[in-house]
């Protein structure tokens, strides 16, 4: 004979009470999971927001401190030659970041590239020293001789020197200020027997066609 070990009161448990118990369990579970879900979202949201800032590139300024210890401002180059003519670059900072006309623009390694020529609220235009026709005072490092760099475009310079002045390929040309930053490197020297001057071709120490970041003096 098969014996049923379940209590009689369980066997006779009313059907409507079973439904009521299931409903109570369902609603209790909904409340608990809703609370846990909101807690998890509140914890994860800051991470999502940070990732969105980094990935989208929006509102980067509050996250990244653009100023270096020396007071220079880091700028992203938005447009550079040959997208812009005449050795002009456009950077992503402007008057809102204390950028002013005449501010010096350089590379992170130190080479001096040019000066800010126009300023807008969030953008600025920079004219490189190598812009065609641009003349800049400089120093020939080999003999501390003051010279004038003449921009030829495309990151190139021309210098005219007395034929007896010593100069060789690879010589460095520095800025005329006290910081004496690198501006150009001699690439070629040409002189004719009948000429009183020699023509020197120099080149920017960096590839202006691949600029990504520059430093701006406010």
pLDDT at 215: 95
Model pTM?
0.67
The H-or-E segment that residue 59 falls in is none
- List the helix and strand counts (H, then E) for the chain: 2, 12
> Each residue of 10-45: pLDDT tens digit?
445 565 666 666 666 665 655 544 544 445 434 434
CA torsion through residues 110, 148, 135, 168, sign: negative
Instruction: Provide the 3-class DSSP secondary structure of residue 97.
Output: helix
Phi/psi at 21 (5° precision): -65, -45
Rounded to whole angstroms, the Cα distance separating 44 from 61 reads 22
* Cβ contact 98:73 at 8 Å: yes
> Each residue of 151-179: pLDDT tens digit?
999 999 999 999 989 999 999 999 999 88
pLDDT at 80: 85
pLDDT at 82: 84
pLDDT at 40: 42
Closest Cα partner for 124 from 114, 136, 132? 114
Would you call 14 exposed, middle or buried from its count of C-beta atoms within 10 A (0-12, 13-18, 19+)? exposed
What average pLDDT does the segment 63-75 reach? 76
């Amino acid at each position: 004979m098969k014996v049923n070990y379940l209590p009689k009161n369980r066997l006779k448990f009313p059907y409507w009470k079973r439904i009521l118990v299931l409903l109570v369990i369902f609603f209790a579970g909904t409340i608990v999971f809703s609370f846990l879900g909101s807690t998890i979202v509140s914890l994860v949201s800051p991470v999502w927001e940070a990732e969105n800032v980094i990935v989208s590139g929006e509102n980067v300024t509050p996250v990244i401190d653009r100023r270096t210890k020396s007071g220079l401002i880091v700028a992203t180059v938005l447009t550079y030659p040959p997208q812009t003519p005449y050795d002009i670059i456009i950077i992503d900072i402007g008057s809102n970041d204390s950028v002013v006309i005449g501010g010096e623009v350089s590379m992170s390694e130190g080479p001096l590239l040019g000066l800010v020529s126009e300023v807008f609220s969030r953008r600025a235009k920079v004219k490189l020293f190598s812009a065609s026709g641009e003349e800049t005072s400089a120093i020939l490092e080999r003999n501390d001789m003051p010279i004038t760099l003449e921009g030829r475009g495309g990151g190139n310079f021309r210098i005219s020197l007395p034929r007896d002045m010593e100069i060789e390929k690879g010589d460095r040309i520095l800025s005329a200020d006290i910081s004496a930053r690198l501006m150009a490197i001699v690439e070629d020297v040409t002189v004719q027997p009948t000429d009183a001057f020699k023509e020197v071709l120099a080149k920017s120490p960096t590839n202006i066609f691949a600029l990504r970041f520059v430093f701006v003096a406010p």
